[in-house]
């Protein structure tokens, strides 16, 4: 499904859900609700003395949001004909990891952000030391959750956990965050850091793992996994381009944090690099590429005969493209 | 093996390796050397752009030290008649995790330490942001290493990885560190926090996992695992009591960091709680208890007939008791 080129540079009259290229987003809210219900049941502390740490973890974990990564998990399960409820432990683990990354990114030594989803950031409420530890603990509990709660054959759980570790380490999320801080003002400017590569690591790998871990847990054949991996990688790129655009065009209220923070941090973004017009074109191109990759993945998918059409994955792809926050 | 009561309060003439109770430590240096050789071969970054992050990780990882946790892994393998070299991936993963915990503990928002093993701490050299990320990345890479390099049946690797996640999350290392910062001056004093419990979580759980993960990977029967778990838990307590004593009696040069830092941080320690004399008695009691638990574990161990005597585990237990740094 091809999507025709970008938006006008200053076309503020176009509402987020009525793009000139006709893409209208319908987010699978019913899956998000299941994620929220599931996350509310997850507890970490086994005795009262560590309840205070758990409180800081849950403060950030239960702050709402679109839950794009865990919803992607459930939508991917449905796309290959699985009962999505069986993937809730994986979905939960990935949202724990995402929450940990937000807490650490917001720290004074990193982005020094005071607001997140309209509320004071974790370190503003609980102190910097507890915030660092809340992030650390969320990451540990994510692995514990996946390794002990996800019910699948051991070698599949092992493969999914390894994928998640890879997606969040030096060659994934944390490596991308390193490149992000390294390419910013606090450190010597490298100049040569490829923006797409930074975001592929920082954002794309965990978004990608939200899709590929499902395929690994399902024991899907290699070609299907590779095709979905390609889709997921493009989805990560799309997510980041739109994020960069929203930081410039979004309102504080919609974003739940001050807009313009990228510029204040002297951050390398798609907008600073290419200008808003070109960034929007790149978003449209990326959206088209993601949709094409998804169509290909679905045709390569296992059990295509009995599977429902991957409507939620299409919905999420369109939502990521058209979102306003 | 019972050990008779404590040391004189100010008996500075007794050298660390010639205790009045006759315990003389011989550390299994040959195992430490194998750990060091192994760690030097571990690399994380798959491409040049993240090499800077890897540099910060390796700066802290390869700073030397006694490598007590990974040496415990290898010694535990030998104690149950396994080829210890096969446990090097687990040993490496645990040292990665230990290194991550040191980097985060040293951060300005936590202990704010400038020296570690005689060298400037990670954040002093690479900046606070990179140090936070180096810690985060070491934890991710530890799991990746264990999950992809350790060669054992998938359900055993899964069990060991789950044990490690449990030992390092809310109910383990990070929870213990939370209790430590929470009970200190920066936060409301709780008064009621049980010191032994704090250290059981903060230090004991990872030391314990260094032993029990070996049993899990070996598929040892439950009674042996439980017996070794008891030994390992006591070893963790012993380690911490001696650590608290050394912070008062040790020299800066021997410790590789300024002594007296616990008192400066207003930290709850065995010495602040019980005085140096009683702390030394508690250390002697804990050492005796650890040795007794080890003797029991060894008799409950699998394959006792063909196994060598667990001399390295005895050596490590004695070393932890008598060490001077």
d(CA A193, CA A189): 9
Q: How far is B299 from chain A (nearest CA, A)?
A: 30
**Lookup: tokens for A213:** 């871990």
**Lookup: tokens for A275:** 């200008």
Q: How confident is the model at residue B301 (pLDDT cuts 50, 70, 90)?
A: low
B201 to A50: CB separation less than 8 angstroms, yes or no: yes
d(CA B111, CA A132): 12
SS3 A115: strand
Do B70 and B210 form a contact (C-beta atoms < 8 A)?
yes
Q: 């959750």: which residue's tokens?
A: A145
A166 to B144: CB separation less than 8 angstroms, yes or no: yes
Q: 């491409």: which residue's tokens?
A: B47
Residue of A nearest to B157 (CA): A158
Q: Is the pLDDT of residue B20 over 60?
A: no
Do A293 and A227 form a contact (C-beta atoms < 8 A)?
yes
Residue of A nearest to B173 (CA): A137
d(CA A153, CA B192): 44
Q: How confident is the model at residue B306 (pLDDT cuts 50, 70, 90)?
A: low
A45 to B170: CB separation less than 8 angstroms, yes or no: yes
SS3 A143: helix
Taking phi first (over 0 means left), then psi (-120 to 50 degrees means alpha), and beta for anything else, what does residue B83 get?
A: beta
**Lookup: tokens for A305:** 């005969």
Who's near A115: CB < 8 A, 6+ residues apart?
A121, A256, A257, A258
pLDDT tens for chain A, residues 1 to 325: 333 333 333 333 334 444 556 677 789 999 999 999 999 999 999 889 999 999 999 999 999 999 999 999 999 999 999 999 999 999 999 999 999 999 999 999 999 999 998 899 999 999 999 999 999 999 999 999 999 999 999 999 999 999 999 999 999 999 999 998 877 644 444 445 677 788 889 989 999 999 999 999 999 998 988 999 999 989 998 998 998 999 898 776 666 666 677 776 777 788 988 999 999 999 999 999 999 999 999 886 655 455 545 489 999 999 999 988 7
Q: How far is B1 from chain A (nearest CA, A)?
A: 34
Q: How confident is the model at residue B316 (pLDDT cuts 50, 70, 90)?
A: very high
Do A138 and B139 form a contact (C-beta atoms < 8 A)?
no
CA dihedral in degrees (A289, A290, A295, A299; nearest 10)?
A: 110
Question: What per-residue confidence (pLDDT) applies to B11?
Answer: 34
The reported pTM is 0.89
A168 to B140: CB separation less than 8 angstroms, yes or no: yes
Question: What per-residue confidence (pLDDT) applies to B171?
Answer: 96
B45 to A140: CB separation less than 8 angstroms, yes or no: no
d(CA B31, CA A218): 41
CB-CB: which of B54, B128, B168 is closest to A140? B168
Most B CBs within 10 Å, among A107, A174, A183, to test the B interface:
A174
Q: What would the 3-class secondary structure string for chain B be?
A: CCCCCCCCCCCCCCCCCCCCCCCCCCCCHHHHHHHHHHHHHCCCCCCHHHHHHHHHHHHHHCCCCCCHHHHHHHHHHHHCCCCHHHHHHHHHHHHHHHHHHHHHHHCCCCCCCCEECCEECHHHHHCHHHHHHHHHHHHHHHHHHHHHHCCCCHHHHHHHHHHHHHHHCCCCHHHHHHHHHHCCCCCCCCCCCCHHHHHHHHHHHHHHHHHHHHHHHCCCCHHHHHHHHHHHHHHHHHHHHHHHHHHHHCCHHHHCCCCCHHHHCCCCCHHHHHHHHHHHHHHHHHHHHHHHHHHHHHHHCCCCCCCCCCHHHHHHHHHHHHCCC
Q: How many CA atoms lie within 13 A of B76 on its CB side?
A: 33
Who's near B202: CB < 8 A, 6+ residues apart?
B173, B175, B176, B177, B179, B180, B240
Question: What per-residue confidence (pLDDT) applies to B21?
Answer: 65
B161 to A166: CB separation less than 8 angstroms, yes or no: no
A154 chain-B contacts, CB cut-off 8 A? 153-155, 157-158
**Lookup: tokens for A311:** 């409507």
CB-CB: which of B57, B166, B181 is closest to A144? B166
B139 chain-A contacts, CB cut-off 8 A? 136, 139-140
Residue of B nearest to A163 (CA): B144
B47 to A147: CB separation less than 8 angstroms, yes or no: no
Do B295 and B1 form a contact (C-beta atoms < 8 A)?
yes
Q: How far is B62 from chain A (nearest CA, A)?
A: 17
d(CA A110, CA A265): 10
How many pairs of residues across A and B have Cβ atoms under 8 Å apart? 181
Question: What per-residue confidence (pLDDT) applies to B39?
Answer: 98
Do B66 and B131 form a contact (C-beta atoms < 8 A)?
no
Most B CBs within 10 Å, among A45, A93, A109, to test the B interface:
A109
Which among B112, A103, A146, B47 has a CA at the least distance from the CA of A112? A103
CB-CB: which of B44, B141, B178 is closest to A53? B178
B52 to A133: CB separation less than 8 angstroms, yes or no: no
d(CA A47, CA B8): 38
Q: Is the pLDDT of residue B58 over 50?
A: yes
d(CA B320, CA B278): 18
B52 to A169: CB separation less than 8 angstroms, yes or no: no
Residue of A nearest to B192 (CA): A49
Do A235 and A290 form a contact (C-beta atoms < 8 A)?
yes
B181 to A133: CB separation less than 8 angstroms, yes or no: yes
B57 chain-A contacts, CB cut-off 8 A? 170
Question: What per-residue confidence (pLDDT) applies to A9?
Answer: 33
CB-CB: which of B137, B147, B172 is closest to A158? B147
SS3 A153: coil
CB-CB: which of A135, A139, A178 is closest to B52? A178
Who's near A253: CB < 8 A, 6+ residues apart?
A118
B128 chain-A contacts, CB cut-off 8 A? 109
Query: Could you give the percent of chain B with pLDDT greater than 90?
Result: 66
Question: What per-residue confidence (pLDDT) applies to B158?
Answer: 98
Question: What per-residue confidence (pLDDT) applies to B187?
Answer: 47
Question: What per-residue confidence (pLDDT) applies to A181?
Answer: 86
Question: What per-residue confidence (pLDDT) applies to A189?
Answer: 44
Q: How far is A127 from chain B (nearest CA, A)?
A: 9
Q: How confident is the model at residue B14 (pLDDT cuts 50, 70, 90)?
A: very low
Which among A38, A95, A41 has a CA at the least distance from the CA of A65? A95
CB-CB: which of A50, A143, A178 is closest to B170? A50
Residue of A nearest to B142 (CA): A165
Question: What per-residue confidence (pLDDT) applies to A182?
Answer: 79
A213 chain-B contacts, CB cut-off 8 A? none
d(CA A199, CA A175): 10
Q: How confident is the model at residue B36 (pLDDT cuts 50, 70, 90)?
A: very high
CB-CB: which of A57, A104, A140 is closest to B165? A140
d(CA B10, CA B259): 17
Strands B119-120 and B115-116, how do they pair? antiparallel
SS3 A119: strand
Which among B78, B19, B41, B89 has a CA at the least distance from the CA of B242? B19
Domains of chain B: 29-322 (1.10.600.10)
A137 to B45: CB separation less than 8 angstroms, yes or no: no
Most B CBs within 10 Å, among A99, A126, A129, A217, to test the B interface:
A129
Q: How confident is the model at residue B18 (pLDDT cuts 50, 70, 90)?
A: very low
B45 to A169: CB separation less than 8 angstroms, yes or no: no
CB-CB: which of A46, A147, A193 is closest to B171? A46
SS3 A296: helix
Question: What per-residue confidence (pLDDT) applies to B117?
Answer: 86
A127 chain-B contacts, CB cut-off 8 A? 109, 186-187
* Mean pLDDT, rounded, for B281-304: 86
pLDDT: which is higher, A8 or B163:
B163
């Amino acid at each position: 499904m091809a999507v025709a080129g970008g938006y006008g540079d200053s076309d503020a009259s176009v509402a987020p859900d009525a793009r000139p290229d006709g893409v209208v987003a319908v987010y699978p809210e019913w899956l998000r609700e299941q994620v929220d219900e599931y996350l509310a049941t997850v507890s970490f502390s086994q005795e009262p003395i560590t309840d205070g740490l758990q409180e800081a973890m849950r403060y950030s974990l239960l702050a709402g949001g679109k839950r794009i990564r865990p919803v992607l998990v459930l939508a991917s399960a449905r796309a290959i004909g699985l009962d999505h409820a069986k993937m809730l432990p994986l979905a939960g683990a990935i949202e724990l990891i995402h929450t940990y990354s937000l807490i650490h990114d917001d720290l004074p030594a990193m982005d020094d952000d005071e607001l997140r989803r309209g509320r004071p950031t974790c370190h503003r409420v609980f102190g910097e030391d507890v915030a660092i530890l809340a992030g650390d603990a969320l990451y540990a509990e994510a692995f514990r959750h996946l390794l002990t709660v996800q019910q699948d054959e051991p070698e599949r759980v092992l493969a999914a956990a390894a994928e998640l570790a890879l997606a969040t380490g030096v060659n994934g999320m944390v490596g991308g965050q390193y490149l992000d801080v390294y390419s910013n003002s606090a450190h010597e400017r490298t100049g040569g850091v490829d923006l797409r590569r930074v975001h592929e690591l920082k954002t794309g790998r965990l978004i990608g793992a939200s899709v590929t871990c499902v395929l690994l847990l399902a024991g899907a054949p290699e070609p299907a996994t590779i095709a979905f991996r390609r889709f997921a990688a493009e989805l990560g790129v799309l997510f980041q381009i739109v994020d960069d655009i929203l930081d410039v065009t979004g309102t504080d209220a919609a974003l739940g944090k001050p807009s313009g923070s990228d510029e204040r941090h002297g951050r390398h973004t798609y907008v600073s690099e290419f200008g808003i017009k070109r960034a929007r074109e790149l978003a449209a191109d990326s959206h088209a590429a993601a949709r094409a990759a998804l169509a290909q993945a679905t045709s390569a998918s296992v059990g295509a005969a009995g599977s429902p059409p991957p409507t939620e994955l299409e919905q999420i792809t369109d939502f990521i493209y058209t979102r306003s926050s």
